[in-house]
Chains A and B, each alone.
Chain A
């Protein structure tokens, strides 16, 4: 996708506001308080081979919320190409939901018949960026909806890189024409664990491509900050979000609380704070 076309697509996306990653434990509270949640992100993989009760749940959610699917296993950085069966199922889900955008990660999850079981960083090289671009073209054969790509946390730097992560992401976005799902928690965690200033990273990104944010709190383990999605959002991450919302035309923000889920009122307080931040910078009403 040419740069001008990409800019047209992303600037025309609706401003969704602030929402939460859907999790079953707070399903009841979610419907009772749906006027305080602007949209939902659903984990696409939970609905690809789902039993009837999960599909009914999806229909019910879709009746009341705008749903943005977030996939986990496209393995867009895989040099071996994509799992076509997975892609077809994902395409069916995205067509069914007709979302304003959908997302997956700049990562690989399998290689050589081995399923790693988690998002793994790729090498930051021109070859790796070309691989991602090729895989995104394959995706576009089946899925029209705009795709945005998420930055991941990484514990190791794969040797053989030609640039830093921010420059690599810029290259990937330019080659693919995709938007960016900037996980501000992941950015903060990587900056702490790998000793760099997140402001420099943010400045190196094409801000006009930042469509959506993720945020949540992690925890320390053996001297390393872990993206466990298990704690309230710390002030350091709020600072990253504030600066990102100031400088980028973000359309939506999602709280990704997966573990140690608190009372829903606590989740709503975080959503309200994110919403106020976005309003301060005119990102949504």
Chain B
């Protein structure tokens, strides 16, 4: 087997959980299905399933670590449910392999938001926290000029209390609009939040 073909096959097996499971169920059959010659399929069948799965798990854990840092407050609020949701999200085969970490965080945040709404798990403030971190991840893209997000709670007070790891988060129901603005491409980001009475008053 040429080295390029070997590496392409390995990359698919490492990152595609469904393919990996089928492959180790019958390496010779599945090897032929994905285009390997009989000889090459026999060569690759020498791989240890336990070792490959261990490596694939490490890829998953690395993704979780990266996404968990970008959505740190949400992860803290949800605890193990965050990790469980991430496992379900990551199990879906991603065309192109492992996404870049900012892209991964943004996509997972969308997936998690939808899941939490469907399951009605997590009170409203947890969703607001998640949406805040998702917006912040979007704003981290140096090519994005404006990101806006609307919250049912006073998001600045909520985020401050969660970031300080206060035992009881400060949850105040107050419609809030948050903006991340980059005056020029690749420039610094300015964050502002405007809560309901100020919005109604029209002033800063």
Give the B-binding residues of A (Cβ under 8 A).
49-53, 77-80, 108, 110-118, 120, 122-123, 125, 127-128, 131, 155-160, 222, 224, 226, 259
- Other-chain contact of A108, B2, B7, B96, B187 (Cβ < 8 Å): B7
Give the A-binding residues of B (Cβ under 8 A).
1-4, 6-8, 10-12, 14-15, 43-44, 46-48, 51-52, 54-55, 58-59, 62-63, 65, 96-100, 140, 142, 186-189
Q: Report the separation of the CA atoms of residues A123 and B40 in the bound assembly, to the nearest whole angstrom.
A: 14
27 contacts between A and B (CB under 8 A): A51-B142, A51-B186, A52-B187, A53-B188, A77-B7, A79-B2, A79-B4, A79-B6, A80-B7, A110-B11, A116-B97, A116-B98, A117-B15, A117-B98, A118-B98, A122-B3, A122-B7, A127-B3, A155-B51, A156-B48, A156-B52, A157-B51, A158-B6, A159-B44, A159-B47, A160-B43, A259-B65
Interchain nearest-CB distance for B199 vs A (Å): 29
Interchain nearest-CB distance for B112 vs A (Å): 20
What total of A-B pairs shows CB separation below 8 Å? 100
- Other-chain contact of A123, B3, B52, B63, B65 (Cβ < 8 Å): B3
- Other-chain contact of B11, A53, A111, A128, A226 (Cβ < 8 Å): A111
**Who on chain A is nearest to B62 by CB?**
A118
Q: Is A156 within 8 A of B6, CB to CB? A: no
Q: Is B3 within 8 A of A226, CB to CB? A: no
**Who on chain A is nearest to B44 by CB?**
A159
Q: Is B54 within 8 A of A155, CB to CB? A: yes
Residues of B within 8 A of A259 (CB): 65
**Who on chain A is nearest to B12 by CB?**
A114
Residues of B within 8 A of A77 (CB): 7
Residues of A within 8 A of B54 (CB): 155-156, 222, 224
Q: Is B11 within 8 A of A112, CB to CB? A: yes
Residues of B within 8 A of A49 (CB): 142
Interchain nearest-CB distance for A110 vs B (Å): 7
- Tell me whether A111 and B4 are in contact in the complex, defined as CB-CB below 8 angstroms, given that A116-B97, A155-B54, A159-B46 are known contacts: yes
Q: Report the separation of the CA atoms of residues A128 and B6 in the bound assembly, to the nearest whole angstrom.
A: 11
**Who on chain B is nearest to A159 by CB?**
B46
Q: Report the separation of the CA atoms of residues A225 and B48 in the bound assembly, to the nearest whole angstrom.
A: 17
Q: Report the separation of the CA atoms of residues A49 and B100 in the bound assembly, to the nearest whole angstrom.
A: 13
Q: Report the separation of the CA atoms of residues A226 and B186 in the bound assembly, to the nearest whole angstrom.
A: 37
Residues of B within 8 A of A122 (CB): 3, 7
Q: Report the separation of the CA atoms of residues A222 and B6 in the bound assembly, to the nearest whole angstrom.
A: 28
- Other-chain contact of B10, A53, A111, A155, A226 (Cβ < 8 Å): A111
The winner among A49, A114, A125, A158 for most chain B CB atoms within 10 A is A114
Q: Is B96 within 8 A of A115, CB to CB? A: yes
Q: Is B46 within 8 A of A113, CB to CB? A: no
Interchain nearest-CB distance for B64 vs A (Å): 11
Q: Is A160 within 8 A of B97, CB to CB? A: no
The winner among A110, A120, A155, A259 for most chain B CB atoms within 10 A is A155
Interchain nearest-CB distance for A107 vs B (Å): 11
Interchain nearest-CB distance for A228 vs B (Å): 9
The winner among A115, A116, A158 for most chain B CB atoms within 10 A is A116
Q: Is B51 within 8 A of A156, CB to CB? A: yes
- Tell me whether A117 and B3 are in contact in the complex, defined as CB-CB below 8 angstroms, given that A52-B188, A110-B97 are known contacts: no
